[in-house]
Amino acid sequence: MGVDEMMDQLKRACAIAKKDIRIYYLNGPVVIFGILVPGFLFLAFVIGRDLPINFLVAGLLGMTVFFTSTSVTPVIAPTETQTRNLERLAAAPISITTALFGDVLASAFFGIAISLVPVLLGVAFGVTITHPFILALGIVLAAFCFSAMGLIFSSIPTGATSTVMMLSTMVRFPLVFISGVFIPVGDLPSWGQALASLSPLTYLTDLCRYSFQDINNHYPVSVDIAALAIFLMIFMAAATKLHERSLPKRL
Amino acid sequence: MIEVRELTKYYDGLAAVDHISFEVEEGEVFGFLGPNGAGKTTTVRMLTGVIKPGSGSVSIMGFDIRRDPIKAKQIAGVVPDLSNAYSELSAWGNLQFMAELYGVPGTDARKRAEELLTKFDLYDRKDHKVKTFSKGMKQKLVIAMSLMNDPEILFLDEPTSGLDVQSARLIKEMVRELNNDGKTVFLTTHYMEEANDLCNRIAIINHGTIVAIDAPEKLKMRIGGMQRVEVSFDTPVDVSCFHSISGVISVRRSGDKLRFYTNEPGRVIYQLVDYSRSNNLEIVMLTTLTPTLEDVFVKLTREQK
């Protein structure tokens, strides 16, 4: 594919993202699983515990980007299976990667936009961001990575959003507990640290801690960024393969 | 325009489409008929690049659907078999989304959307969400969406299915207009009358294989013994009274009429007139009918069983 064709496909991916934003941002499962659930989970953990604010905000930020970015992509494919919009997209002059990338763009944008809430909340409570560019890079990269992860959940050939959200919740909740959001990775036993290294959320939380003043991070920044980029590529490649396989079963 | 060679698709070891080959000429309205489960939608989906063929080839204006799917899809418009505009978007939003998907520049897209909405009598509702539309309005919008890229070829899968008479008539009229403008139309339909009215040629598919391809009138001529004489007398007459009439293959009652299937309609008419005279009956109506496309369809699909 030439550069012109790639740019053309990118424009069409943006059109899909725009459509997703208009249709899915106020979708029930997106609001519940993307904003309300992580909010209540965080409150349940924080209330009654004496933890430093910058530690809490770093955890909240990581968790917010994770939950918001993984809440849009799982909803799109099952909804469009049910509403029979998928055949129109499949007949359009776009590759399956373009269609999926459009969904990732919409989801990542949602994650990035909502991440401003904990960042501003942290600043309001006196948290100092010492590495804003690293933090911004980490949030953007992680939002794309988690959105691509959400695509894997939605590759199940079903029209029932609840089935996909159930599977997605089953994976997302345990990941939050092993990713150093509530307990720093360094404080985990060696098996816990090994487990944490398998979660992409670990690297975002670590980057957030690096970016805020007075907290220790566990991995070097380059490792965090490289890990998020590698997870993004793996998730995108896996999602494309899985959706290619499941598309005929959805029609 | 469209070249299909040995196209095959298997599902769970069963051939949904089995080595079919045909060509659709430029500017033609090509009908694709078949009973439910015959392989029509699977074929259309392979032609439009929605699903990959198991084997064989499809070429759309020289672009192979497997090697150049984007280019092949770029020149086609598709109306899938179910209404599928985005219900949360407005009619205008749906049309603009299609324009963006097909890379239609903004100014052209706006102009074309206005033209299509006016043509389909939807302009007043352009800013309303599609979920508030009736089935006929949705279907008209779906067709308008498929025309946003001004396609060379239009694939219509059951475009008038379940529509009221007026909407169906509008859509048929639109197909004629597009064809007059030189567009090639690939039409899948259950309605024999629609195929008969619109199509230059028709392919009949059954059990995944094509059983006939020809112009509607030539298809009708293929089946012998299917000419009919219909007669209605002023007094009801039992079918059994006509078993001795020569040249009749079978007689059936159809409402207040009697229908005689024959290869010699003239001879049958003479005998019916004689019968009415000798029995002092008045002929209220007498007409001859040639085979319909439905007769052809039923005969060919039955023969294959």
For residue B127, is pLDDT > 90? Answer: yes
Residue B242: both structure tokens together:
């006509």
pLDDT digits (tens, 9 = 90+) for A81-127: 888 888 889 999 999 999 999 999 999 999 999 888 888 888 888 88
How many percent of chain B have pLDDT more than 70? 97
Whether A93 sits inside 8 A of B101 (CB atoms) is yes
Interface of A with B (CB under 8 A): 5, 8-9, 11-12, 14-16, 18-19, 22-23, 83-85, 87-95, 247-248, 251
Local confidence band at A137 (pLDDT 50, 70, 90 cut-offs): very high
A88·B89 Cβ contact <8 A: no
Q: How far apart are CA A10 and CA B272, in angstroms?
A: 74
pLDDT at position B305: 56
Q: What is the pLDDT of residue A139?
A: 96
Q: How many CB atoms lie within 10 A of CB B121?
A: 12
> Cβ of A85 and B84 within 8 Å?
yes
Residue in A22, A95, A247 closest to B70 by CB = A95
Distances in Å between the Cα of B208 and the Cα atoms of A188, B31, B79, B190, B294 are 61, 16, 22, 16, 19
Residues spanned by the domain of A100: 3-250
Structure tokens at B217: 């009138």
How far apart are the CA of B191 and the nearest CA of chain A, in angstroms?
23
Beta-carbon separation of A15 and B73 below 8 A: no
Q: What is the pLDDT of residues A164-190, one digit of tens each?
A: 888 888 898 889 888 888 888 888 889
Chain-chain contact of A87 with B50 (C-beta, under 8 angstroms):
yes
Q: Are strands B257-262 and B14-24 parallel, antiparallel or unpaired?
A: unpaired
Looking at per-residue confidence, does B135 or A12 come out higher?
Answer: A12
* Closest by Cβ to A8, choosing from B87, B88, B103: B103
Q: pLDDT at position B37, please?
A: 83
- Residue B209 makes CB contacts below 8 A (sequence gap 6+) with B18, B19, B20, B304
Residue in A with minimal Cα distance to B45: A91
Structural domains of chain B ordered from first start: 2-221 (3.40.50.300), 227-289 (3.30.70.2470)
- Which one, of A70, A81, A132, A15, lies nearest residue A243 by Cα? A81
CB contact under 8 A, B70 and A5: yes
* Cα distance from N-terminal residue to C-terminal residue, chain A: 28
Average pLDDT along chain A: 89
Contact residues, chain B, for A91 at CB < 8 Å = 48-50, 73, 76, 78, 80, 155
**Is A22 in Cβ contact with B51 (below 8 Å)?**
no
Residue B31 has a CB neighbour count (10 Å cut-off) of 26
Split at pLDDT 50, 70, 90, the class of B272 is: very high
CA distance B59 to B203: 18
- pLDDT value of position A173: 86
DSSP A70-96: HHHHHHHHHHHHHTT-HHHHHHSS--H
Mean pLDDT of chain B: 89
What pLDDT is stored for residue A141 in this prediction?
A: 97
Q: Which residues in chain A have their CB less than 8 angstroms from residue B158's CB?
A: none
Search chain A and give the residue with CA nearest B155: A91
Instruction: Tell me which chain B residues have a C-beta less than 8 angstroms from the C-beta of A90.
Output: 49-51
Question: What distance in Å separates residue A104's CA from the closest CA in chain B?
Answer: 16
Q: What is the mean pLDDT of residues B179-195?
A: 89
B6 and B176 Cβ atoms separated by less than 8 Å: no
Interface A-B, measured as beta-carbon pairs within 8 A, has a size of 78
| pLDDT range class, residue B171, cuts 50, 70, 90 | confident
Distance CA A164, CA B59 (A): 37
Pick the closest to residue B183 from B1, B41, B4 (CA basis): B1
**Are A12 and B89 a contacting pair at CB < 8 A?**
no
**For the whole prediction, is pTM greater than 0.90?**
no
The arithmetic mean of pLDDT across residues A184-197, rounded, is 89
- CA–CA separation, A192 vs A180, rounded Å? 10
Quote the number of domains for chain A: 1
The Cα of B5 is separated from the nearest Cα of chain A by a number of Å equal to 20
pLDDT for the residue numbered B83: 58
**What pLDDT is recorded for position A186?**
84
Split at pLDDT 50, 70, 90, the class of B298 is: confident
Mean pLDDT of B267-272: 92
pLDDT tens digits, one per residue of B47-65: 999 999 999 999 999 999 9
Q: A18 and B78 in contact by Cβ < 8 A?
A: no
Confidence bin at B219 (pLDDT 50/70/90): confident
pLDDT in tens, A200-229: 999 999 999 888 866 677 889 999 999 999
Nearest to A12 among B69, B83, B101 (CB): B101
Distance from CA of B240 to the nearest CA of A (A): 52
- Give B202's strand partners: B31, B214
Residue A147 has pLDDT above 60, yes or no: yes
The amino acid present at A144, given as its one-letter code, is: F
- Residues of B with CB below 8 A from A11's CB? 100, 103
Name the 3-class secondary structure at A41: helix
Could you report the per-residue pLDDT of A21-72, keeping only the tens digit for each? 999 887 777 777 777 877 787 777 777 777 788 888 888 889 889 999 998 8
Nearest CA in chain A to B85: A85
> Distance from B68 to chain A by nearest Cα, in Å?
10
Nearest to B60 by CA among B32, B24, B98, B8: B24
Q: What pLDDT sits at residue B255?
A: 87
Q: Which residues of chain B does A95 touch, with a Cβ-Cβ cutoff of 8 Å? A: 69-70
Instruction: Pull the structure tokens for residue A162.
Output: 């609840």
Q: What integer pLDDT is reported at residue A214 of this predicted model?
A: 64
